Amino acid sequence: MLKPPAGAEPTRDQLERWDREIVWHAFTQMAEYEPLIIERAQGTTLVDIDGNEYLDGVASVWCNVHGHRHPRLDAAIREQLDRVAHVTSLGTSNPTTIKLAKRLTELAPEGLGHVFFSDDGATAVEVALKMALQYWRQRQDPRPDKTVYVALGDAYHGDTLGSVSVGGVERFHAMFQPLLFEVLRTPAPDFYRLPEGVTRENATQHYLRALEKLLAEQHQRIAALVVEPLVQAAAGMRMHPVGYVRGLRELTRRYDVLLIADEVAVGFGRTGKMFACEHEDVAPDFLCLAKGLSGGYMPVAATLTTDEIWQAFLGSYADSKTFFHGHTYGGNPLGCAVGLATLEVFDEERTLANLVPKIARLEQHLARIAEHPHVGDARQCGMIAGIELVADKQTREPFPWHEKHGHRVCEWARTQGVLVRPLGNVLVVMPPLSVSLDELDRICQAIEGGIVAVTEA
Ligand SMILES: *Cc1c(COP(=O)(O)O)cnc(C)c1O
């Protein structure tokens, strides 16, 4: 074997310099970027190039499910590698891809019998948006005027232009306004900052009434409504009141509007059930999946849909009803192999049943953390927590965003060996579902310590 020339391996300092100067990191101000280079991982623990260990408190940004280097998942990829690494989904297939599609239709809410694979959450949403529009144009009784979408305030559906169009996070999306298509907004439920006159008891009704008004006026031109059911993650882990998603389903049915459920963040056990829609017995017209679908290993995404939608695309080639859309790596067998193994591990390790004590433990930590004078709200949905820091607990006045309180708490937590990422002034707890109770304690204690250190400094 040829040996690489001596000195070919970069030094530690070279890696850091190249990381600072060459690699352009996502959602990162590179002028202020401080490299943290993770070399390996095991379970919930990440290890950097200096051998420092960190608990992965945000599941490598909301995607890791069963831990890093899980033997079953590692083996699934190796076994697939011995057969074939990639098969195009343009006109060909692969047993692993087919098996994952079948398994997803068995697990998903009723009626979602067809699966379109892509490679990321944003693409899973793009697929649903385009399919919805094309469906209205070519179904038996065509409705070509249905070309507009409804989305929630502060929504986040990914960073491609279609998903940014339906997105509503001012700081991320305002810049690109000239490129975006028209979207109608319905206000996002905000339990912590309810509008004047709205109570926790009537919040569901209030927000559904706002939507109904919009649908009643404009349903003729609305193709679909897109929502992150139960938790609007990037908005700061904002949570929907009970009955809201159920109400969305009823209203969209009544007004002939398709419902797109973006479960990219909340799917695969995050909320305590396999899919968030199950909490409200909702079957959407489109279910968008990514992040946890591969256990957090590979870029795999899927858009599930109904037979009603599927039928509208059938015909001879000359009918031109084909869905002219695809991503080179959609349905990639390596990704599907680890996706299939991820779902098997849910059964083998009874992942959902084992979450019950962890969800209870997280609740205990949040109850204590909520007492802190600068914690305005500590909200939870299953294994998702958002701890909102405020300058004034009485008035709920936020800390100015540029003071980076959330970021500073996370920096402090890092000194305790815990890696977490904030959403502005909201601290996020979202470890792999395989986290142990002890590890969960350490993650919450590090955040709590950080809150004390930063707000009392
Ligand atoms: C992360 C996320 C996306 C985008 O997924 P990518 O894989 O980053 O493109 C879309 N929707 C929701 C709700 C997300 O949390």
Measure the CA–CA gap between 283 and 108, rounded to whole angstroms: 8
Identify residue 410 by its one-letter amino acid code.
Answer: C
Least confident of 75-89, 165-179, 260-274, 363-377: 165-179
Residue 51 sits in the same domain as residue 200: no
Helix (H, G, I), strand (E, B) or coil at 187: coil
Give per-residue burial for 268-303: e unless 16+ CB within 10 Å, then b: bbbbbbbbbbbbbebbbbbbbbbbbbbbbbbbbbbb
CB atoms near residue 71 (< 10 Å): 8
pLDDT at 104: 98
pLDDT digits (tens, 9 = 90+) for 421-448: 999 999 999 999 999 999 999 999 999 9
226 pocket-lining for ligand 1 (C-beta < 6 Å): no
- Residue that terminates a domain, selected from 279, 314, 348: 348
Pocket test for ligand 1, best of 126, 154, 156 (most atoms within 8 A of CB): 156
pLDDT band of 3, cuts 50, 70, 90: low
Directed axis angle between helix 437-455 and helix 405-415, to 10°?
A: 130
Residue 304 sits in the same domain as residue 371: no
Mean pLDDT over each residue of the chain, to the nearest integer: 96
Question: For residue 78, which phi and psi values (nearest 5 degrees)?
Answer: -60, -45
The answer to whether residue 414 is domain-embedded is yes
Dihedral sign from CA coordinates of 429, 435, 438, 439: negative
Reading phi first (left if > 0) and then psi (alpha if -120 to 50, else beta), residue 383 is in alpha
Any idea what the Cα angle at residue 438 is, between residues 433 and 443, rounded to 5°? 70
446 pocket-lining for ligand 1 (C-beta < 6 Å): no
Residue 207 sits in the same domain as residue 328: yes
The tokens describing 343, both together, are 């779902």
Directed axis angle between helix 351-369 and helix 333-348, to 10°?
A: 80
Measure the CA–CA gap between 338 and 335, rounded to whole angstroms: 5
Residue 337 sits in the same domain as residue 391: no
* pLDDT of 55 strictly over 70: yes
pLDDT at 450: 98
* pLDDT of 4 strictly over 80: no
428 pocket-lining for ligand 1 (C-beta < 6 Å): no
Q: Where are the beta strands (DSSP E) in 85-216?
A: 114-118, 148-152, 183-186
The answer to whether residue 13 is domain-embedded is no
Q: Which atom of ligand 1 is nearest to the CA of 158?
A: 4
The Cβ-side half-sphere exposure at 166, using a 13 Å CA radius, reads 28
Q: Which residues are CB-neighbours of 146 under 8 A, at least 6 positions away?
A: 133, 136, 220, 221, 222, 223
* pLDDT of 201 strictly over 70: yes
Residue 221 sits in the same domain as residue 105: yes
Q: Which atom of ligand 1 is nearest to the CA of 160?
A: 9
154 pocket-lining for ligand 1 (C-beta < 6 Å): no
Helix (H, G, I), strand (E, B) or coil at 42: strand
Dihedral sign from CA coordinates of 344, 286, 154, 395: negative
The answer to whether residue 216 is domain-embedded is yes
* pLDDT of 196 strictly over 90: yes
Residue 251 sits in the same domain as residue 303: yes
* pLDDT of 5 strictly over 90: no
Residue 245 sits in the same domain as residue 393: no
Cα distance from N-terminal residue to C-terminal residue, the chain: 58
The tokens describing 455, both together, are 């707000």
The answer to whether residue 29 is domain-embedded is no
The answer to whether residue 3 is domain-embedded is no
The CATH number covering residue 44 comes to 3.90.1150.10
Mean pLDDT computed over 195-211 = 96
Say what percent of the chain tops pLDDT 70: 98
Pocket test for ligand 1, best of 264, 270, 287 (most atoms within 8 A of CB): 264
- Measured in Å, residue 288 CA sits from the centre of ligand 1 at 9
* pLDDT of 2 strictly over 60: no
Give the closest residue (by CA) to ligand 1 atom 5.
121
The answer to whether residue 305 is domain-embedded is yes
Residue 317 sits in the same domain as residue 365: no
* pLDDT of 259 strictly over 50: yes
Residue 267 sits in the same domain as residue 396: no
* pLDDT of 83 strictly over 60: yes
Residue 89 sits in the same domain as residue 177: yes
Measure the CA–CA gap between 226 and 444, rounded to whole angstroms: 32
Residue 101 sits in the same domain as residue 230: yes
Measure the CA–CA gap between 419 and 414, rounded to whole angstroms: 5
Measure the CA–CA gap between 194 and 185, rounded to whole angstroms: 17
> Which residue range(s) make up the domain with 267?
74-348
Q: Could you give the C-alpha distances from 231 to 32, 211, 261, 430, in angstroms and in order? A: 30, 18, 11, 12
Measure the CA–CA gap between 85 and 52, rounded to whole angstroms: 33
Residue 173 sits in the same domain as residue 316: yes
Please tell me the total number of residues recorded for the chain in this structure: 457
Q: Which residues are CB-neighbours of 48 under 8 A, at least 6 positions away?
A: 36, 37, 38, 39, 54
The answer to whether residue 11 is domain-embedded is no
- Residue that terminates a domain, selected from 313, 348, 383: 348
413 pocket-lining for ligand 1 (C-beta < 6 Å): no
Max Cα separation, the chain? 75
Alpha helices in 318-404 (DSSP H): 333-348, 351-369
Q: Which atom of ligand 1 is nearest to the CA of 61?
A: 1
- Determine contact, residues 89/326, Cβ cutoff 8 Å: yes
264 pocket-lining for ligand 1 (C-beta < 6 Å): yes
Count of domains forming the chain: 2
- Measured in Å, residue 121 CA sits from the centre of ligand 1 at 4
- Residue that terminates a domain, selected from 304, 326, 348: 348
pTM over 0.95: yes
The answer to whether residue 2 is domain-embedded is no
Q: Could you give the C-alpha distances from 218 to 145, 154, 222, 256, 399, in angstroms and in order? A: 11, 21, 7, 11, 38
The CATH number covering residue 227 comes to 3.40.640.10
Give the closest residue (by CA) to ligand 1 atom 6.
121
pLDDT at 1: 47
127 pocket-lining for ligand 1 (C-beta < 6 Å): no
* pLDDT of 169 strictly over 90: no
228 pocket-lining for ligand 1 (C-beta < 6 Å): yes
